[in-house]
Amino acid sequence: MYSPKINEELVKALYLEKQKVGKPMTKLVNEAIMEYLEKRRRNDDQQRQNNIGSD
């Protein structure tokens, strides 16, 4: 499985967030990625709707 290298500054920020909220860093990363992908999907869906309406 591919494991991308995470920027050290992001790892530091994740560690601080982990300390603040008490969740594992992996859980924080998974939540952030899911939120990002859902937002992208909604934006893509909206773009498709806009393109259909402009035809």
Q: What is the pLDDT along the chain (55 residues), one digit of tens a residue?
A: 998 899 999 999 999 999 999 999 999 999 999 999 999 999 999 988 888 877 6
Answer for the pair 25, 18: CB distance below 8 angstroms, yes or no: yes
For residue 17, give its domain range.
Answer: 10-53
d(CA 29, CA 15): 11
Q: Is 39 part of any domain?
A: yes
Contact present, 25 and 14 (Cβ < 8 Å): yes
38 found inside a domain? yes
Query: What's residue 20's pLDDT?
Result: 98
Residues sharing a CB contact under 8 Å with residue 42, sequence separation 6 or more, in sequence order = none
For the chain, the domain total comes to 1
Is residue 4 one of the residues assigned to a domain?
no
